[in-house]
Chain A
Amino acid sequence: MKILVLMKQTFDTETKISLDANGKIDEAGVNFVVNPYCEFAVEEALRIKERLGAGEVTVLSVGPERAETSIRQCLAMGADKGVLVNTGGLEGGDEFTTAQIVAKAIEKVEYDIILAGFQAVDDGSAQVAPRVAELLGIPQVTVITKLELEDGKAIATREIDDGVEIIEVALPAIFTAQQGLAEPRYPSMKGIMQAKKKPMERYSLADLGLDAGLVGTDGAKVKIVELSLPTPRKGGKIVEGEPAEAAQKVVQLLRSEAKVI
C-alpha cells in the first residue's frame, strides 16, 4: 500500500512569538518542528505499513527550504521518501494556494491513501487537507482517532461534539489526524542514519507548472491586514474568606467585573 502523508513544518510549540519591525512574525531564533498533528499522521502511516508488512510511506511538504529538516525527521521515524515543494520566496500564501500546490504536487506521487494532521499548531485553520480532498475529488474523514483498513475501504472513528462518529469510506481517501490516533515514536539511531540517505524529490513551483500569480500573496484569498500579539493575561484573583461568604463575593465579581453572568 502506498501511503502519502501531508506534513507542515511549524514553529516549535514552546516558541514565544514576537513581531519584527515590519509587523511580521519574527522567525529569528525560532525552532521549527514537524507539526504535532502531522506527526500523528506519520506515525499512523508507519503503523499501517508495519501491520501490512509492506508498503511505502511518502511525506510531502510545501514550504521554504528549511522544511527539509522536518521531512528528514519523518524519514528518521521510518518514512521511505520525501517530497519537498519549495515555495522559494513565495511564502505569503493561504490555505487556498497551499491546497492548489499540494494537489498539483500529488500528481507526481502514487498513493492509495492520504493522511495529514487535522490542523497545524501555528494558524490552526484545519483547511488544507479538506481542500486537497475536494481538488482531488476523493472522500475525506477529518479529526480521526482510529483507522482500520479493509480491502478497498477504510473505517475511521472521528471525534464530534459529545461523542464519536464511525465512518466507512472507499479508498483512496484523505484522513486527518487528531491526538490519540497514534503516539509518535522517537527516531532510533538507525533511523537517523538512514534518513540522511533516503530519497528526497524536490520541486519548485515552476516545476509543477504553477503560475506565480496563482500562489503566494498574489493568489491568496486571505489578505492579512495586521498582526498583533494577544494582550498578556492578567494574574488571577484569589477570593479569601469562609466558603459561603467567598462564593457570594465570586458571584458578585463575575457580575460586576467579568460581566459573564
Chain B
Amino acid sequence: MVPSRPLGWYGDTYVIMWFLMLVVFAVFGKGVYDRYRLWRLGVDEQRFAGFGQGIKNVLIHGIGHKRILREGYPGLMHLFILSGFLVFALGTLAVAVQEDLHLEIYQGSFYLILTFLLDIFGLAAIVGILMAFVRRYVLKPDRLDTTPDDGVSLVLILGILVTGFILEAQRIAITADPWAAWSPVGNALAGLFAGADNGSLKGIHQLFWWTHLLLTFGFIAYLPHSKMFHILAMALNQFFLKEKPAQALAPIDFSNEELEQFGVSKVEEFTWKQLLDTDACVRCGRCQDNCPAYLSQKPLSPKALIQDLKAHLGEKGPILLAQQAAARQRGTASQVAAAGEGAGAVLEKALTGEVIQEDTLWSCTTCRSCEEQCPAFIGHVPTVVDMRRNLVMMESNFPQEAQLAFRGMENNGNPWNVGWKSRADWIEGLDVKTMAEAEEGEVVDFIYWPGCAGAFDNRYRKVATSVVKLLQKAGSKFAILGTEEKCCGDTARRLGNEYLFANLVQENVEVMNGYNVQTIVTSCPHCLNTLKNEYPQFGGNYEVIHHSEFISRLMAEGKLKVAKELGAKITYHDSCYLGRYNDIYEQPRKILQNIPGVQLVEMERHNYRGFCCGAGGGRMFLEEHLGERINLMRTEQALALEPDVIATACPFCLTMLEDGTKAKDVIDHVKTRDLAEILVDVVQ
C-alpha cells in the first residue's frame, strides 16, 4: 500500500469552503491593495536593484534570519514560527495539488517526509508562539508595546496550530493510520481519543475541521489589517533593501527652479519606500533598544517615530486618496475640497511639530544603530533628515546653536567659525607641503585631509600631527589642501542644511578635481563617509581611506614598526561613522593588538552595537538640554572596564569622551587618546 492519508472527507461541503475562500481572498486583496495605494502616495525613489538581488536579500534576511538571529530568544522564537509557517504553506499546497488538480503527489515517501516535517515544525511553531506569549505578557521587555492586535494575532496562530494537531490526532484515531509513527505529535495525541466510538469522533472531527478552516480564513482576511502584514511588507522591504540607508543621503537638485519644497513637510512628500517602511515595521523594538537618544531619555524612539508616521499615513492617506479620486473625476474644486471635508484637522496637522515633535528630530545623533539592528531594513536616518531639511530650509526653525555652526561653515568653511586663513597653521614646523606648493613637479600619492577638527581644534591638532608623523616615518608622499580645504559638509547635511552642504561640496570638488586628486587619507570618520559615499553624487570620485585603515596597512606592510612596549589596558570606542557606516571595526583594533603589552578590552556595546558618543548628526554643535548626557553614559560604559586609556578614532568621539572623563573626574588616570597618538609614541 502506498503511504498517504485520506483526503476530502467533507467534499460535499466544499462549495461553501470555496465560496468562503473567495470572500476571504477578496478581503485580503482589498486590504493589501489599500496599503499599496497608501505607499503610492509617496514620491518616486529608485530602489530596484534587480530581481536576483532582491530575492537573494529576502532569502538571506527573511528566510535566513541573518539579522533576526543576532538576538537569541526573540531570534529563535521568530525562526520557529516562520519555519512552521513556511512548512505549512508547503503542506497546504501539496494537499491542494492533490485534491484540486488531482495530481497524485501527496503520497509515498514524499507524503511521509512531509507529514513528519509538518509535525516537527508545527510543534516548533507552537513553541515559538508560547515563547512569544511569555515574552510579551510575562517578561514584558521595555521595547515591546502591546496592543490588542498582538494578542489576537498570537491566539489566531496558536488556534490554527492546535486545531491542526487535534484534527490529525482524531484522524489517526478514526482511521487507525498505519503510518501514524510519521506524525509523532498527532500520534501521541491520538491516545486522547482512543476508545471513543468512531461515529461521534467523526462528528467532533468535522467540527474541528470547520474551526480550523475558519481560523485559517480569518487569519488570511485579518492579515493586511494586523501586525502580521509584516510578512508581506517586510519581505518587500528586504527585496528593496539598501544595506545602509543613512550612508549617502539623497541630494536635492537646487538648479531646478521649479522646486518649491525642500525636505519633507507632509507625509505624502516622503518617497513610496519611506511609506512602505512604516508598514514593514513590526514594532519589535530592536531599534529603540539600541538608540542612544532613547536610552538617554530623549523624546525619540525610532520605533515610535516610524509608528507615528504610520498612524498619520493611516488617517491622512485615505483622505488624500479620496481627494485624488474626486479630482480625477473632473470634480470641481469644491467637490475635491468636500472629499476632504470633516478631515480638515487631519489635513492641517503639521508633520514636523505635531505628528513628529521637533525635539524628537533634533535628538537623533544619526548613529545608524536603529538601521543596523532593524530586521526590516528601515531607513530611519534619511527620514529624520528629510524632516530636518524642512525645518531648516523652509521654516528656518532649528536649535539656535546650529546657526553659529551654519554661519561658520558659510563664512569660514568650518563649523567653529575660525578664520579660514588659519586653516593650515597646524602644519607649522611639520615639513608638510600644501598642494599649491607641491604642484611644482613633486610626487604626491595622496592628500591628507585633517578635517576642520584636525585643522582648528587644539586637542585634535595633536592627532593630525601624530598622523603626519606616522605618515612621514612610513615614507608616504602626501600633501594637504591647506587653506583650500573646506568643511566636508557632513554636519550641515545631517542637520538638514542641504543647500549649505551642496555649496561646500561643490567648492571642495572643484579644488580637488583641479589638482586631479585620486586618493584621500582622512582623520575624521564624518569626512570619510561624506567624501567616500556622498561626494560621488557631485562628481567627486576619490578613494577615501581613514587613518586607522591606512596606518594598519602601513604596519602590515612593515613600514611602521613598533619599537616599544606599552603596558596599558585599552578599550576601543567604535565611531559610528567608521564602524556602522563604513564597516571599519577590525583595523583600529589591529593597530592596538600589534602593540606589545596592550591589553585590549571590549565594552559590552561594541562593533555594530557600539554606543554613540552623542556628537553625530550635527549634535556636536548643539546643546544637550534633554535627558541624560550621552557622552557620560558612554564614558561610564568604558570606565566600568577600568581602562588606562580609552582609544578613539574620531575627533567628535575624542572630545565627547574626554569631556566625559573630565566630568567624572578621572581625566588624570584615564586618558582618552586617538589611535595615532597611541601609536606614534611607540613606533621606531
Interface on A for B, CB 8 Å cutoff? Answer: 12, 14-16, 29, 31, 33, 183, 185-192
Contacts and interface: CB of A to CB of B under 8 A. Distances in A.
Classify the secondary structure of B's interface with A: helix
Contacts of B403: 186
B396 A12 contact: no
B407 to A, nearest CB: 8
B396 A29 contact: no
Given A14-B412, A31-B412, A192-B499, A186 B421 contact: no
Contacts of B394: 188-190
Contacts of A188: 393-396
Interface string B388-410: 00001111101010010010000
Interface string B414-425: 000111111000
A187 B396 contact: yes
Given A14-B417, A14-B420, A191-B396, 12 more contacts: A14-B412, A15-B419, A16-B419, A29-B421, A186-B392, A186-B403, A186-B406, A187-B396, A188-B393, A188-B394, A189-B393, A192-B499
Contacts of A191: 396
B411 interface: yes
Interface string B363-398: 000000000000000000000000000001111101
The list of the 5 closest CB pairs from A to B, nearest first, reads: A14-B419, A189-B393, A188-B396, A189-B262, A12-B411
Given A188-B396, A189-B499, A12 B419 contact: yes
A99 to B, nearest CB: 28
Contact of A14 (B260, B393, B418): B418
Contacts of A16: 419, 421-422
A20 B421 CA distance: 16
A105 B89 CA distance: 84
B396 A183 contact: no
Counting chain B residues whose Cβ lies within 8 A of the other chain, the interface size class is 20 to 34
Nearest to A30: B421
Given A14-B419, A16-B421, A31-B411, A183 B400 contact: yes
Interface in B475-508: 499
Contacts of B419: 12, 14-16
Nearest to B406: A186
25 contacts: A12-B419, A14-B411, A14-B412, A14-B417, A14-B419, A14-B420, A16-B421, A29-B421, A31-B411, A31-B412, A31-B420, A33-B411, A183-B400, A186-B396, A186-B398, A186-B403, A186-B406, A188-B394, A188-B396, A189-B262, A189-B393, A189-B394, A189-B499, A190-B394, A192-B499
Nearest to B252: A189
B261 to A, nearest CB: 9
B483 to A, nearest CB: 8
A134 to B, nearest CB: 34
Interface of B: 260, 262, 392-396, 398, 400, 403, 406, 411-412, 417-422, 499
Task: Choose among A16, A31, A33 the residue with the greatest number of B CB atoms under 10 Å from its CB.
Answer: A31
Task: Choose among A185, A186, A187, A190 the residue with the greatest number of B CB atoms under 10 Å from its CB.
Answer: A186
A16 to B, nearest CB: 5
Contacts, number: 39
Contacts of B262: 189
Classify the secondary structure of A's interface with B: loop
Nearest to B422: A16
Contacts of B412: 12, 14, 31
Contacts of A192: 499
Nearest to A31: B411
A191 B396 CA distance: 10
Contacts of A187: 396
Nearest to B257: A193
Contacts of A33: 411
A129 to B, nearest CB: 24
Nearest to A29: B421
Task: Choose among B260, B403, B420 the residue with the greatest number of A CB atoms under 10 Å from its CB.
Answer: B420
A28 to B, nearest CB: 10
A208 B592 CA distance: 72
Contacts of B398: 186
Nearest to B412: A14
B421 A185 contact: no
B622 to A, nearest CB: 14
A192 B412 CA distance: 19
Nearest to B497: A186
A210 B262 CA distance: 46
A189 to B, nearest CB: 4
A1 B499 CA distance: 33
A190 B392 CA distance: 11
A183 B399 CA distance: 13
A192 B403 CA distance: 16
Contacts of A29: 421
A24 B499 CA distance: 36
A15 B396 CA distance: 27
A15 to B, nearest CB: 6
B38 to A, nearest CB: 28
Nearest to A33: B411
B379 to A, nearest CB: 23
Contacts of A189: 262, 393-394, 499
A190 B389 CA distance: 13
A186 to B, nearest CB: 5
A191 B394 CA distance: 9
Nearest to A196: B257
A66 to B, nearest CB: 14
Nearest to B398: A186
Nearest to A32: B411
A184 B420 CA distance: 23
Contacts of A15: 419, 421
Contacts of B393: 188-189
Contacts of A183: 400
A43 to B, nearest CB: 12
Contacts of B260: 190
B456 to A, nearest CB: 11
B352 to A, nearest CB: 14
A191 B418 CA distance: 27
Nearest to A15: B419
Contacts of A14: 411-412, 417-420
A185 B402 CA distance: 11
A186 B499 CA distance: 13
A185 B418 contact: no
Contacts of A186: 392, 396, 398, 403, 406
Contacts of A185: 396
A189 B263 CA distance: 10
Nearest to B394: A188
A245 B10 CA distance: 106
A187 B262 CA distance: 13
Contacts of A12: 411-412, 419
Contacts of B395: 188
Contacts of B422: 16
A42 B265 CA distance: 28
Nearest to B396: A188
B269 to A, nearest CB: 14
Nearest to B400: A183
Task: Choose among A15, A31, A189, A192 the residue with the greatest number of B CB atoms under 10 Å from its CB.
Answer: A189
A14 B421 CA distance: 9
Contacts of B418: 14
Contacts of B421: 15-16, 29
A49 to B, nearest CB: 16
Nearest to B389: A189
B423 to A, nearest CB: 11
B270 to A, nearest CB: 18
A236 to B, nearest CB: 16
B487 to A, nearest CB: 14
A54 to B, nearest CB: 21
Contacts of B406: 186
Nearest to A192: B499
A183 B396 CA distance: 13
A16 B411 CA distance: 13
B417 to A, nearest CB: 6
